[in-house]
Every structure is written in C-alpha cells, then in structure tokens.
Structure 1
Amino acid sequence: MNGPLSVATIVAALILAAWYLLRTALDRAPSRFDLLASVALSALVTVLVVVAVIGLFGSSRPHDTATFVGYLFTTIAFAPTAIVLARMEPTRWGSLILGVGALVLPVLVLRLQQIASVPLA
C-alpha cells in the first residue's frame, strides 16, 4: 500500500484541492475541465484500490481486514460522489464540494496505509 501510486494519488488530490478552493474563492463554478480532472483523479484512486484489493489476497494482510475493506469502499466512492454533487450545484459551491472531496482523499489514502502497515500476526 505504501508506494509511488499512493504518493501520486495524494499529490494529485492536494493539487486539485488547491485549484478547486482557489476557484471557490474567485466565485467560479466548476468547469468542464474541473469535472474531467476529478474523473481523472477518480481513475487514479480506482487503480490504487484495485492494487490494494489484489494485495488482500497476498501473504501480508492487514490486521483489521474489515476496516480496511470499509476504507476501500469509502475511498473509491468519495470522488464520484463529489462529482455528482458538484454537477447538481453549478455555482461556486460546486467548486467547494470538489475541493473538500479532493482534500478528504489524501486522508483516506493515509488511513489505508496505516491499516495496511499493521500485518496480521
């Protein structure tokens, strides 16, 4: 779970969060580019979750597998949910929704790393 894919996901999410929050401060609604960038972030998160699921079938499983799987479901669903909500709110608040969604993703990825780093004894 620790690796370049996790770092890339965290960095991309933080860069997009800064962009979306700047657009919110400038009173801009989410543009088509913003929504496509969120879709790209969702694709990156999907790859990360698929790699994590494959890792579940390996020899080093996390200590609390149920919590890990719960975080996996939350992580993969978070960005698409933010996209849907942002499309429903075509004002500056849609940009804020995308920004908050992008800020939460690094926290979820870090929590997945914490859970995965404690192997089953």
Structure 2
Amino acid sequence: MIHSLAVAIVVLTGALALFGVAGTVMGRAPGRVDVLAVGAVEALLVLQAVLGAARVFGGVRLAETQTFMIYLLVSVAVLPLGLQFARAEPTRWGGTVIAVASVATGVAVLRLLSLWGQTVG
C-alpha cells in the first residue's frame, strides 16, 4: 500500500462525509455532484485496492493476509452501495447515507493501514 494515498483517501472520505451532511442540512436529495464526488473517491479506492492486492500477491507477507484482503474488498464496495441506497429514494436523508458510508470507508482504510504495518519478516 502507498501510505500517502491511504492518508489522502481518509481525508477525502472525511470531506465527503461533511459534504453529505451539508446536503442533508440544506434539504437536498443526492444528485449529480454527489455521484461525481463518490466516483472520484471510489477511483482512488480502486487504485489502492489494485496496488495493495498486487503487492500481497507479489510476495509481501502480512500477519493477517486474509483480513487485509477482506478490508480491501470492503473499502471498495461500501461507497457505491451507500450511493445506491442514497439515490434509491431521493430524499434529503440521502446525504446522511453517503456520510455514513464515507465514514465506514475511512475506518476501513485506517484499518488497512494498521494491517499493512504488521508485515512479517
């Protein structure tokens, strides 16, 4: 994993969560801007997942490889699912759904950083 990329993703998921809460406070349903914001963060998550998986399959030994791979999958899957739920019934609360998905993704990335730090010899 690239540490600076992971830190950037954590910061961006935090900003996306604030953006989602702001949308809820303003009373607007998720729209095109929300889709683009989630898409931008998701692109970075996919890049991180590809790089992380390539390094694991390339020989990096982790103390908890299976857990790491599961968190990689979760980090990529949560935001699109949250966006789908947010847009399924477009109400003002869609922004809150995006915010919760963003926070969950940020926590998953922090856990990935923790697991990556536990490399074995």
Q: Pick the TM interval, shorter chain.
A: over 0.9
CA distance in 1, matches of 2:100, 2:80: 13
CA distance in 1, matches of 2:69, 2:3: 19
State the match for 1:62 in structure 2.
62
State the match for 2:86 in structure 1.
86
How far is the alpha carbon of 1:15 from its aligned partner? 0.8
Q: Are 1:6 and 2:34 matched, yes or no?
A: no
Q: Are 1:31 and 2:31 matched, yes or no?
A: yes
Contact 1:24 1:95 (8 Å CA) reproduced: yes
How far is the alpha carbon of 1:2 from its aligned partner? 4.8
RMSD: 1.3
CA distance in 1, matches of 2:44, 2:2: 15
Q: Deviations over 1:48-76 (max 9, x none)?
A: 11111011024432111111111111111
Secondary structure of 1:92's aligned partner: coil
CA distance in 2, matches of 1:2, 1:50: 11
Q: Deviations over 1:22-68 (max 9, x none)?
A: 11122211121111111111111101111110110244321111111
Identity %: 36
Q: What is the aligned length?
A: 121
How does the TM-score come out when normalised to structure 2?
A: 0.92
How does the TM-score come out when normalised to structure 1?
A: 0.92
Contact 2:2 2:48 (8 Å CA) reproduced: no
State the match for 2:105 in structure 1.
105
Counterpart AA for 2:89: E
